[in-house]
Amino acid sequence: MTNGKLERVTRAVYPGSFDPPTNGHLDVIERAAGCFGELIVAIVVNPQKRTPMFSLQEREDMLKASVTSIGGVRVEHFRGLLADYVKAAEADVIVKGLRVVSDFESEMSAAMMNRSLSDVDTLFLMADQKYSFVSSSLVKEVFFLGGDVAALVPEPVLRVMAEKRNNLQRR
């Protein structure tokens, strides 16, 4: 380590659906930004097997507004294989957050697949305990059924979610 940064790792990619971004994501972004010279938060345009609730533009806007105070972070998006995106971005590593043991099971095979496709390693950060139960899908479900998620998402995300709920209610 040099000045708290990993010496040979300069550019990391933190991929995800971010539908919507949560405080758990933000915690990983803050901590990863402290480890690497540059962190690209990469939004997958079409998540596998599901249609996102928030458009790419909305997800991009929410993330950008949530990371303004964190240095060395940029928000991008990608289509297709993460391994191809990582190579094109000339990234050194992929960063992912792990919350629970079941995350590890799926992430282990994804990490091995991405390494075999791109020769890029995945580094994992353990989620802060207080966010270990927070997922985008649970946050959406609770919020749209009237629950309070203010402690679970960044403020700009809460605003966009409230707007979407109001629009849905007007229909």
Which residues would be at the binding site for ligand PNS (CB under 6 A)? 15-17, 44, 47-48, 81-83, 110, 113-114
- In this structure, are residues 28 and 127 in contact, taking their beta carbons and an 8 Å threshold? yes
Spatial distance between the Cα atoms of 153 and 21, rounded to a whole number of angstroms: 7
Backbone angles phi, psi at 83, to 5 degrees: -60, -40
Helix or strand or coil: residue 12? strand
**17, 25, 96, 140: the active-site residue:** 25
Q: Is 165 a catalytic residue?
A: no
Backbone angles phi, psi at 94, to 5 degrees: -100, 140
- In this structure, are residues 60 and 75 in contact, taking their beta carbons and an 8 Å threshold? yes
**49, 102, 116, 171: the active-site residue:** 49
* Smallest separation (angstroms) from ligand PNS to the CB of 16: 3
Which residue, 5 or 31, has its beta carbon nearer to ligand PNS?
A: 31
* Smallest separation (angstroms) from ligand PNS to the CB of 58: 15
* Smallest separation (angstroms) from ligand PNS to the CB of 7: 26
Q: Is 99 a catalytic residue?
A: yes
- In this structure, are residues 24 and 73 in contact, taking their beta carbons and an 8 Å threshold? no
* Smallest separation (angstroms) from ligand PNS to the CB of 153: 14
Spatial distance between the Cα atoms of 51 and 40, rounded to a whole number of angstroms: 23
Which residue, 34 or 46, has its beta carbon nearer to ligand PNS?
A: 46
Which residue, 5 or 76, has its beta carbon nearer to ligand PNS?
A: 76
Which residue, 16 or 154, has its beta carbon nearer to ligand PNS?
A: 16
